[in-house]
Chain A
């Protein structure tokens, strides 16, 4: 595959590419992580002024919002956008496109073999400064850095599935792989040696080994939360803030049923329930809320870990969705975000299937 050799580190090279795309008017805006050099504070930014590119940190191992979710409506604005996305953000975006919540038409997607991201608490505590240099060293050697999000440690989908441009960083240097005509077209004239190359498979294999081991451990640790008692233990402390669904790239419904009048309980409900059971847990339906989300979208969960990260009471929401999602998606050999042409499993059917039902 046609690839560009990066002379500098990957972040600098991509920052230059983004600046080039902006200044040559190939794109109207750039979506990337940013970091203010003086304070270290970071966010996801949409940049139109090339001078703003100094703050771009395209591969900062932090996810303040799932960029796939953020990109959703702006991707339909008609503006041309170059977006740097982590593989799960790109998959999340792809899932949204399938739900008509986004479009690839005016997008150039840039992703990379992903080493994972740190939980937001590390950003708040100011530890990021110390963690990032070690992270870069470790990931270049295909080793797992400490302190990542639980679902990142266990993520086996760290190679971008459908990016226009993907970046691979190994100890032998960094490469920009051009996967599409659009990638070729947009990078035309951008400096750098062109070679035929693919991402280093042995590097990927080594990463996969530690990821798979971590996934096994994560899933096992979640075993105890199945069954009714396990679920009550787990979600019993849920405060019902619905933060987990707000930050989820898949949960796009503007009028979530759980925030509708259907779940706005009134006096008769309480009376009836109390008569039947003698006691009621408040707020009601915290478990039903998660079960509802699991039935409605777990097969599309991309395991980005946003939900766990924002949960104020540290419920391992993402692990549960990832684990359940693999089962529900597995029923239909579905891989969320693999291909924007692959329909979501509840939108299609085969006449001859599932003979055991009914």
Chain B
């Protein structure tokens, strides 16, 4: 049987991180094939429930990435997102979800290298943690 591979959901803001992923692609920068991407208009669109629901549906990790603070296409979406993520953290702790399973980053359209680094990092972090328990007791 082939080795277990982490499955990670990457929720990327259209204006920066998604373009960063594109740049990584056209520049042929290598990174692990562990992510499934959902494009959102802005990191501010991401409700904490999206993250919980992804874990519940079986993703082993979730990455949310937006424009650098100060660079949001809609001016303040990522500042609000940052607060929402801060609020989610104690909750993840309460549920007993390892902090490394849910990561946030700011990646600009020009940072293809950085995109690859971030994906490599979260993939390795999640690989160490093993498969997610999916918010539901395995029966």
Contacts and interface: CB of A to CB of B under 8 A. Distances in A.
Interface of A: 226-232, 257, 276-279, 281, 287-288, 291-292, 294-296, 298-299, 324, 327-328, 331-332, 345-347, 349-351, 353-354, 357-358
B87 interface: yes
Contact of B87 (A231, A292, A345): A345
Given A295-B52, A331-B87, A357-B82, A228 B104 contact: no
B87 A291 contact: no
Contacts of B58: 276
Main secondary structure of the interface of A (DSSP, over half): helix
A257 B90 contact: no
A232 B82 CA distance: 29
A277 B87 contact: no
Nearest to B103: A358
A-B pairs, top 6 by smallest CB distance, nearest first, are A227-B96, A279-B139, A349-B79, A295-B48, A358-B106, A327-B90
B105 interface: yes
B31 interface: no
Contacts of A226: 93-96
Contacts of B82: 349, 353-354, 357-358
Given A324-B94, A358-B105, A232 B137 contact: yes
Interface in B77-93: 79-80, 82-88, 90-91, 93
B110 to A, nearest CB: 17
Interface of B: 48-49, 52-53, 56, 58, 65-66, 69-70, 76, 79-80, 82-88, 90-91, 93-97, 104-106, 133-139
Contact of B91 (A276, A291, A346): A291
B83 A349 contact: yes
A345 B88 CA distance: 13
Contacts of B90: 324, 327-328, 331
B95 A291 contact: yes
Nearest to A295: B48
Nearest to A353: B82
Contacts of A349: 76, 79-80, 82-83
B137 A299 contact: no
